[in-house]
Structure 1
């Protein structure tokens, strides 16, 4: 039979392991979502952009002057929007983790104060 301090230490260790697993799962799922989005956008670029070669090979701005360049602009806007959404999601997840960690630290400090009294 374990004493209370040992049980608390084991629970904290399990919490850390579960948090690490969850964070790893989140990173893997976000990476997979990014790769899937990249693949979809590459397929969409092939179907949206019209066939033909740009007039000036070395100047990428010249492609946007063509009449069928709307596909390039569309893909660029969609990529930017997706990147902004993923960035906002990551910031929210990070803030949530900070809040949870702050609450756990506050609870641990409160327990230490109770033990010292």
Structure 2
């Protein structure tokens, strides 16, 4: 699969219009239904190539867009989510500088 192409599993006659938020590969047990004994085998069945990881991130982005941004009466939730995510990200990347400014209590 080249960059920008449809997934190899996508068949327009079977699936209809293409949805970037949908996984067209073989269905597997959802992560929430995996038992602890089967967890290693479940992770072993995952495709860990860079293209597969990029596809999973892309599907997550599109699902988030369809749920919070694209509805007609979209609220303010996506703006708050992006604000909290960016605040957390910048706190984490600056943590090594911020931890030196702690107020220590000496007894």
**Higher relative contact order (Cα pairs below 8 Å, separated by 6+ residues):** 2
TM-score for the superposition, normalised by structure 2: 0.29
Which structure shows the higher helix fraction? 1
TM-score (normalizing by structure 1): 0.27
Indicate the structure (1 or 2) with the bigger Cα radius of gyration.
1
